[in-house]
Amino acid sequence: MSKRSFKVTATNPRTALLTTARGQVQTPCIVPLLKRGTFGMLGSQTLQQAKVQLLAADGLEYSVEPGLKTIQASHGLAGFLNWQGPIMTFSGLFEPADKLKKNASRLGFRYQEPFTKAEKRMDAASAATLQKVMAGDLPVAAFQTIDYYAPVDDLLSAVKVNAELATSESTLLPGLIPAVLGGGIKKARQLAIGDQSLTAALIAQLPTGDIQEWQRIVSATIDLLPADCLRIVMADSAEQVLAALRLGVDLIVTGLPLVDAVEGEAYGQQIRYRIKESSYQDDTRMLNGHSLAYWHYLHHEKSRAGIQGLSANNLQRLIETVNQDVQEADENYSRTGALLSADKHGNK
C-alpha cells in the first residue's frame, strides 16, 4: 500500500495538501464517485479536463465486471481506467442492513453481488484481497451500516462488529481508512474512533432527508477527530455538498453533478439552467460551446452524448466554483451556494 501524507495549510476556510504516490490533492476537493451508470462513462481525459484531482470507485463492481484478473493485469484500478492521479477505493457500498449479527465480524457482511445478484459475504480476507488488487491510494476499510435511527444497542453492536472486521482487515493490509459509524449517537461514534489517533476517516452512516441532523452529526464527529485527520464524507445532495464544505470536510465524494445532468439541470456561472423545461427550446445563450436550446434538445432525445457533456460541464463548474471560493477565503462558500441553490435558475 502506497504511503500518503496530509497537512492542513489553513483553517478559515480549511485547506490542506494530501500527498500520495500518484500525486498531490489540494483540499477541499470534490471527488466524483465511479459507479455503474455514473462518471465512468466520461473517460480519464474528460475527467482531467474537468480539473478532477481524485477519483473514488466502488471496487466491488469492478471485481465482477471486468473482473479481478483484468484489474490485476492492469496493475490496479487506476491503470485499468487509464487514470494518472490518485484514486480512493471502496470494497463495496452496501445498502443498510436491518441488523448486524455479532458473528458478522468473523463471517463477513452479507451482500448481493453487483450485476449477478448472487448472495455472498464480505469478510476481512476478501476485502483485503479486493483492495490489494485495486491498488488504491486511499483504500477504505469494508463497512456495513444499519438504519441511522436504529435502537442504541443495535448501533453500538454494529459499531463493534465493524471495528472488529476493520481491525482484522488492517492486519492483512495496513493503511486502510476506517469508517466512523454510530448513527446519531455521539457515544457510538466515540466508540468507533476508540483510542486510535486517526490520520484519515470516512464519516459514514449519515441521515437522509434531514440536512440539519446531517450537519449536526458530521460536525459532532469532526469534533471527535484529531484536527489534522483527513475528513471524508459522501454527499448525495446539493445541501450536503455545501454543508460539508462549510463544516471543513476535506474530501467530498459525490455523484451529484451527473444526477443533475440526467435530470436536466445544467450548471452555469453561479446559476443553474433547468434545460428540461420548454422555455429553453429556442434559447440561444451559450453553455460550454453549445446553445441552451441544443442542450434542451439533447435532453429530450435522452442522448447519451448529452448526459456525458452535461455531466462533464457540471463537474467542472462545481470544482471551479469551489476553488474560487477557497482562493477568496470565503468560508461561507457563497458562489458555490449560489450555484447549488435549488431556487436559483436561469429561466428566461
| Number of domains comprising the chain | 2
**Do residue 31 and residue 167 come from a single domain?**
yes
pLDDT of residue 45: 84
What's the CA gap between 327 and 321, in Å, rounded?
10
Cβ atoms within 10 A of the Cβ of 303, count?
14
Q: State which of 231, 254, 277 marks the end of a domain.
A: 254
Residue 294 is which amino acid? Y
**Do residue 118 and residue 168 come from a single domain?**
yes
pLDDT in tens, 306-327: 988 999 999 999 999 999 999 9
Q: State which of 200, 219, 254 marks the end of a domain.
A: 254
Residue 346 pLDDT level (bands cut at 50, 70, 90)? low
| Lowest-confidence pick of 23-27, 195-199, 218-222 | 195-199
Q: Are β-strands 55-58 and 23-27 bridged in parallel, bridged antiparallel, or unpaired?
A: unpaired
Cβ atoms within 10 A of the Cβ of 160, count?
16
User: Given strand 14-20, what is the order of strands in its sheet?
Assistant: 5-11, 14-20, 23-27
The whole-number average pLDDT for the span 123-142 is: 96
Phi, psi of 288 (to 5 degrees): 55, 45
**Do residue 291 and residue 248 come from a single domain?**
no
Cβ atoms within 10 A of the Cβ of 40, count?
18
256: cell is 451529484
Residue 345 has pLDDT above 80, yes or no: no
What's the CA gap between 205 and 208, in Å, rounded?
10
Report the CATH number at residue 166.
3.20.20.105
Cβ atoms within 10 A of the Cβ of 284, count?
8
Asked if residue 187 lies in contact with residue 210, where contact means CB atoms within 8 angstroms, the answer is no
Report field, pTM of the whole predicted structure over 0.85? yes
Chain centroid to Cα 129, Å, comes to: 22
pLDDT of residue 216: 98
**Do residue 218 and residue 320 come from a single domain?**
no
**Do residue 126 and residue 234 come from a single domain?**
yes
Q: State which of 236, 254, 272 marks the end of a domain.
A: 254
**Do residue 236 and residue 265 come from a single domain?**
no
Task: Give the residue numbers spanning the domain of 233.
Answer: 5-254
Asked if residue 157 lies in contact with residue 180, where contact means CB atoms within 8 angstroms, the answer is no
**Do residue 120 and residue 193 come from a single domain?**
yes
Residue 238 has pLDDT above 60, yes or no: yes
pLDDT of residue 333: 96
The whole-number average pLDDT for the span 289-302 is: 94
